[in-house]
Amino acid sequence: MINYFKASFKRKMARRFTKEYPPKIATYQLNDIGTVEFANWTNPLAPLQQLSPEMVEFFKKFIKKGDLVIDIGANIGDTTVPMALCAGTEGLALGFDPNPYVFKILQANASLNKDKTNIVPVPFAISSQEEEFYFISSEASFSNGGISPTKNSKHGKFVHSEKIKGVNLKNFLETHYRQWLNKLSFIKIDTEGYDKEIIRSISDLIVTYKPALIAESFGKATDEAKMELFGNIERLGYEIFYFEDFNVTAKIQKLHHKSDMTNYRQTINIYALPEK
């Protein structure tokens, strides 16, 4: 009971007071990969993330050694790391996250497992053009949040003191990673309800290189927004699938029509593959 009240007090403090929470390193044994280190965030409001062999095997369905893979909304790197393990040191994993607090944990994960991964953390949001935003959260410790062009936002009342940068992904890659573009095989997007806008902003990149895609359909989004996400992907020449979890054994179901998206009231993940 004492531990419960201590944890409750810590969560309350994290909601009300801004504070830096450091990473905490855990070690996992992942089958043929061997020992892998992973940094969790000690923020009391941040859920504990774990790596598993089944998670890595899930990403192996889409990613091979030497690929360029991109994680938009990477958070602490809980999907960036297994993606990077699949691409290996001969590949490249770019992890984009504009949250200045969570980005430090992403950096910590990028610094680990150098003999197995090649992760570059990038502190930018993805937008249609180069611009600046405020990062805003409902919690003082910034365990959640999103970008906004103004300080008044549905994301909350806690506004980071410095603006963050938004970049057009295609322009960014052509400027800094042009030599990698032909190896682009996979893009994961998780941007708290903005996935359909991200898909629209990178549609030229998707059409050119046809990477496998993962996106999130936000549970609180309207049915119209969920169907728009489906349409934004389908019109690029992709088949779309619901999947239950980032696990190679998870349930998978093909979505045939945009209305299928409205069958799920909770937040779900979908993946999309180029039509054959």
100-129 pLDDT, tens digit per residue, is 999 999 999 999 999 999 999 999 999 989
The arithmetic mean of pLDDT across residues 55-73, rounded, is 97
152 — pLDDT class (breaks 50, 70, 90): confident
Residue 247 lies in a domain: yes
**Long-range contacts for 133-136 (Cβ within 8 Å, ≥24 apart)?**
133/98, 133/163, 133/164, 133/165, 133/166, 134/159, 134/160, 134/163, 134/164, 135/98, 135/99, 135/100, 135/159, 135/160, 135/163, 135/164, 136/160
- Structure token pair of residue 176: 């800094």
Residue 7 lies in a domain: no
The answer on pLDDT for 97 being more than 70 is yes
Residue 205 lies in a domain: yes
The answer on pLDDT for 11 being more than 70 is yes
What percentage of the chain has pLDDT greater than the value 70?
99
Residue 30 lies in a domain: no
Whichever domain contains 239, its CATH number is 3.40.50.150
Torsion sign across C-alpha atoms 24, 214, 94, 196: negative
**Residues 6+ positions from 183 with CB-CB distance below 8 Å:** 66, 67, 68, 91, 92
The pLDDT tens digits of the residues spanning 211-244 come to: 999 999 988 889 999 999 999 999 999 999 999 9
The answer on pLDDT for 247 being more than 70 is yes
1 — pLDDT class (breaks 50, 70, 90): low
Residue 106 lies in a domain: yes
Q: Which helix (H) or strand (E) holds 213?
A: strand 212-217
Residue 211 lies in a domain: yes
- Structure token pair of residue 94: 């770019």
Q: Is 10 helix (H, G, I), strand (E, B) or coil?
A: helix
Query: What pLDDT does residue 241 have?
Result: 98
- Quote the DSSP letter at residue 48: P
Residue 12 lies in a domain: no
The answer on pLDDT for 4 being more than 70 is no
Backbone angles phi, psi at 154, to 5 degrees: -70, -15
The answer on pLDDT for 210 being more than 70 is yes
The arithmetic mean of pLDDT across residues 151-178, rounded, is 92
Query: What pLDDT does residue 121 have?
Result: 98
The answer on pLDDT for 9 being more than 90 is no
- Structure token pair of residue 220: 């609180």
The pLDDT tens digits of the residues spanning 179-194 come to: 999 999 999 999 877 8
Amino acid in the structure at residue 255: L
Residue 109 lies in a domain: yes
The answer on pLDDT for 76 being more than 90 is yes
The answer on pLDDT for 153 being more than 80 is no
149 — pLDDT class (breaks 50, 70, 90): confident
Q: Which domain, by its residues, includes 134?
A: 52-274
Measure the CA–CA gap between 195 and 106, rounded to whole angstroms. Answer: 20
Domain count along the chain: 1
Question: Whole-prediction pTM value?
Answer: 0.96
